[in-house]
Structure 1
Amino acid sequence: MLKKKLTVWIFDATGTPVQKASIPRLLLPMGMLLFIGAAIMVYLGITDYLRLKDANQSIPNLRANLQTQAELVDHQQHQIAAFTLKIEQLKGQLADLHDFEQKIRVIANLDPKDSGESIFGVGGSDPEEIDPTTMIEQDYQDLIRTMHDEINEMDHASHDQQNAFASIFSQLEGKRNLLAATPSIRPVKGWITSRFGRRQSPFTSRSEFHRGLDIATRAGTPILAPADGLVTYSARKGLMGNMITIDHGYGMVTRYGHIQTLLKKKGQRVKRGETIALVGNTGRSTGPHLHYEVRLNGVAVNPMNYFLN
C-alpha cells in the first residue's frame, strides 16, 4: 500500500542527519503545477508587455500615416471638385457655342435649327446641375458614374456642335461669292440730300423718279467700292458727268455719277473698300456730291436696303 507521506531527512553542515520531516506525497506534484503555472503567467505577462511596448512605439508612425492618408483624401476630394467644376464650365461653353451658331444662322439667312433641340439631349443635365461641394459627399462609385455620364454627354454634344459648324461653313462657302458681291457698305460719307424714289426735280420742279441716292460731301472725297466687282464703264456719260459702273455679278450692278476724278479703268477688278474715284460736281449737278445707284437684274433698287454701316 502506497504511503500518503514522504519522509525527508534534514542534514547539518557535516552531513549528519539531525531532523526527520514528513511531506504529503501529493504536495510535490501540486507544487510543480503551481510553479509551471506561475512560469506561464510570467511569460504571458512579459509577452504582453513587449507587444504593448512595440505597439506604443508604432503609434507615432500610425498617426503620421493616418495624417498622410487624410491629406491625400482631402487633396483627391478637391481635385474631384475642381474636375466637376471644369466639366460644368465646358458645358457652359458648349451652350454658348450653340447660341452663337444660332446667331450665325440668322445673320447669314441659313436654315435655323429646331428651337426645341438641345445640345445636351432630352433629360440631359443643365450646366448648373452638378454641385461640386455636394458631390464629394456622395458614394465614390456613384460619383465616378455621374462624372462618366457627364463626360460622355459632353463628348456627344461636342461632336454634334462640330458637325453643326461644319454644316454652316459648307453653306457659307456656297454663299461667300454672293456675299462678296453684295454692295453692303456706303461708298462715301456725307449727307443724303435726295433719297431713292419719287421726288421733285431740283432743275424742272416736276415730279420724277430718282433711281439712287445723292450724298453730298466735299469735292475730292474718296469713293469706295461697296463690294467686289469688275469695272464695266469709266468715262463721261451725259448728265451723269464722269461715271463709273461696276458689275458685281449675280445680277448686281452699281453706278457712280458726277465724279471729279476717275481712278479705275474699264476692265479692272476692284475689291470691297478700294478707292475707285473722287467726289466731284460734273454733269448736271447743283454742288459736289455722289449720285449712287444699285441695280438688280437691270432694275433700280433702294441702296439703303444694302447698307450695313
Structure 2
Amino acid sequence: MTRKTYTIMVVPDETTKVRRYRVPKLFVRGILFASLIIVAGLAYLLTDYYHVRKMVSGFDRLRLETRQQKKQLLTYVKTINDIQTEMGRLRHFDTKLRVMANLDSVVYPEQIMGVGGENPVSFNPMESEVSFQDQALLKGMTNELSRIKSDTDIQERSFQELVEYLQDQKSLLASTPSIWPVRGWETSGFGYRTSPFTGRREMHKGVDVATRTGTPIIAPADGVVIFAGREGGFGNLVVLDHGYGIVTRYGHCSKLKVKIGQKIKRGDVIGLVGTTGRSTGPHLHYEVAVNGVAVNPMRYILN
C-alpha cells in the first residue's frame, strides 16, 4: 500500500533521541505549489513594476518636453505680437509718406475681404493653456504667420513704389532750375514789355539780369548741353536740357565754358556774362521753357 505521508527525521546530536514527524504528501505538494504560485506572482509583479516605472519615466519626460514646447510656443507668440506691432508702425509710416507724396493708400487683403468667420486668436499668454490643448493657438499662429507673410509682401512692394517715386522726385528736383544762374540786378522781367530796340510792345520770354562782364554763369539744375554757340540776337548762347520737358537758355555770354553733349550738374559754370548779340550792356538773358512753352523763371527759383 502506497504511503500517503513523508517521514521527517530530526537528529539534534548523538545523545538526543531522534524525532520523527509525519507530513502528508498532499500538504507538501500544496506547499510546493503555493511557493511556485508566490514566486511566479512576485516575478509578474516585479516585471509589471518595471514596466510601470518605465512608463512613468516616459510620461515625466513627455511632460517636461511638453512644458518646454509650451514655453517655446509662447516665445513664438510674443515674437508674432512684436512683428504685428512693427508691421503696424510700418503701415502708419507708409501711410504718412503716401499722404506727403500724394499717392494712393495701400489696401491690404483684410480691408478687401472684411472680417468674419471664426474669432481670431488673440495670442494672450494667460489663455495659452486652453488654446494649446485644443490646438486653437497653433491654428491661429499658422493663420497669423500666413497673413503677416502676405502683408510683408504688400508692404515691400509699397516701399519699392515709394522708393521709385522718391528717386524720381529726387531726379526731378535735381533737374528743376531752382537757383539764380547769376547774382545781379533784374533789369527786365518776364512778359510783355516795350522793346528797347524797336519801341514796340513785344513778349519778353525770359528775365534779364545785369552784372559785371566776366561774372560766372552757373547751371541752376542738372542737365545736358544741347546747344553751345552763336545764335542771332542772343549772341553766344548756351541751351541746357534738364529732362522732364524743361529747357533753359542763357544768352549774351562773353565766353562759353561747355560743349554740346556735356553733362552738367547744378552749380557748374557754363559760361561768363557778356554783351554779345543784340544787347544794351553786360547782362544775362535767362529763359525757362516747359514742353516748348516759355514760362516765368521766377516760378522755379527758390533762392
TM-score by length of 2: 0.55
1:256 corresponds in structure 2 to 250
2:91 corresponds in structure 1 to 95
Q: For the residues of structure 2 that align with 1:158 and 1:233, how far apart are their CA atoms?
A: 51
In the alignment, which of 269, 281, 302 is matched to residue 261 of structure 2?
269
Q: How far 1:87 sits from its partner (Å)?
A: 4.6
2:229 corresponds in structure 1 to 234
Q: How far 1:294 sits from its partner (Å)?
A: 0.7
1:144 corresponds in structure 2 to 138
The answer for unaligned runs of 5 or more in structure 1 is: 1-5, 107-111
Q: Superposition RMSD on alpha carbons, in Å?
A: 6.1
2:118 corresponds in structure 1 to none
Query: Would the aligned equivalents of 1:241 and 1:284 in 2 still touch at CA under 8 Å?
Result: no
Query: Would the aligned equivalents of 1:180 and 1:228 in 2 still touch at CA under 8 Å?
Result: no
Q: For the residues of structure 2 that align with 1:20 and 1:64, how far apart are their CA atoms?
A: 59
What letter is aligned with 1:76? Q
Query: Would the aligned equivalents of 1:259 and 1:277 in 2 still touch at CA under 8 Å?
Result: no
Q: Could you give the per-residue CA deviations for residues 146-174 of structure 1, whole angstroms, max 9, x where no partner exists?
A: 2322233344445556766888899999x
1:109 corresponds in structure 2 to none
2:179 corresponds in structure 1 to 186
Q: How far 1:223 sits from its partner (Å)?
A: 1.3
Q: How far 1:136 sits from its partner (Å)?
A: 5.2
Q: Could you give the per-residue CA deviations for residues 235-260 of structure 1, whole angstroms, max 9, x where no partner exists?
A: 3765x664323456776432213534
Query: Would the aligned equivalents of 1:190 and 1:217 in 2 still touch at CA under 8 Å?
Result: yes
Q: For the residues of structure 2 that align with 1:261 and 1:179, how far apart are their CA atoms?
A: 29
Q: Could you give the per-residue CA deviations for residues 177-214 of structure 1, whole angstroms, max 9, x where no partner exists?
A: x959954443637577579557999x9xxx99864456
Question: Sequence identity, in percent?
Answer: 23
Query: Would the aligned equivalents of 2:217 and 2:273 in 1 still touch at CA under 8 Å?
Result: no
Q: Could you give the per-residue CA deviations for residues 8-58 of structure 1, whole angstroms, max 9, x where no partner exists?
A: 9999999xx99999x9x9x98678657755775576568757876x68997
1:118 equivalent to 2:108? Answer yes
Q: For the residues of structure 2 that align with 1:83 and 1:197, how far apart are their CA atoms?
A: 63
Query: Would the aligned equivalents of 1:187 and 1:226 in 2 still touch at CA under 8 Å?
Result: no
Q: For the residues of structure 2 that align with 1:172 and 1:18, how far apart are their CA atoms?
A: 122
Which stretch of the first structure deviates more once superposed, 83-92 or 161-170?
A: 161-170
Query: Would the aligned equivalents of 1:255 and 1:294 in 2 still touch at CA under 8 Å?
Result: yes
Q: For the residues of structure 1 that align with 2:209 and 2:36, how far apart are their CA atoms?
A: 122
1:84 corresponds in structure 2 to 80
The answer for unaligned runs of 5 or more in structure 2 is: 116-120
1:3 corresponds in structure 2 to none
What letter is aligned with 2:270? A
Q: How far 1:234 sits from its partner (Å)?
A: 2.6
Which stretch of the first structure deviates more once superposed, 277-286 or 64-73?
A: 64-73
1:244 equivalent to 2:234? Answer no
SS state at 1:139 partner? helix
Q: How far 1:93 sits from its partner (Å)?
A: 7.8
Q: For the residues of structure 1 that align with 2:72 and 2:140, how far apart are their CA atoms?
A: 17
Q: For the residues of structure 1 that align with 2:161 and 2:258, how far apart are their CA atoms?
A: 39
TM-score by length of 1: 0.54
Query: Would the aligned equivalents of 1:101 and 1:165 in 2 still touch at CA under 8 Å?
Result: no
SS state at 1:151 partner? helix
What letter is aligned with 1:118? Y
SS state at 2:258 partner? coil
What letter is aligned with 2:77? A
Matches within 5 A, 1:169-180: none
